[in-house]
Amino acid sequence: MTQRRHVLLCYDIADSTLLRRVHKTVRDFGRPLQYSVFACRLTALDRARLEALLLDIIKSSEDQIVMIDLGRADRDDSAVPGARMLGLAEGGRCAGPVVL
């Protein structure tokens, strides 16, 4: 069985066209927590693919993407370990804060 890892992905992209492309790409690998913050469950192969796709999109001299490994994703749920939502949650419902 291929091990998945929880990965928190955050990005800061200068160009709005590239920003939309990055967002669409990352959306295929995880779920948004905020506009430029995603929770992903990735295998090593998924992560390598995602990194390659993103490197083809961004301008390394202007943009930044941070991927933080949060540990093993042992369960099938998509919960981010140690996270609590504060304020507006998915679907416009208030469910609490995101505290990492």
The pTM assigned to this predicted structure is 0.80
- pLDDT, tens digit, for every residue of 11-41? 999 999 999 999 999 999 999 999 999 999 9
pLDDT score, position 6:
94
The token pair that represents 25 in the structure block: 């790409």
Is 5-72+81-92 in CATH node 3.30.70.240?
yes
Taking the C-alpha atoms of residue 8 and residue 96, their distance in angstroms, rounded to an integer, is 19
**Tell me, what's the pLDDT at 76?**
64
User: In angstroms, rounded to a whole number, what is the distance separating the alpha carbons of residues 22 and 71?
Assistant: 24
Is the separation of the CB atoms in 8 and 100 below 8 Å?
Answer: yes
pLDDT-based confidence at residue 90 (cuts at 50, 70, 90): low
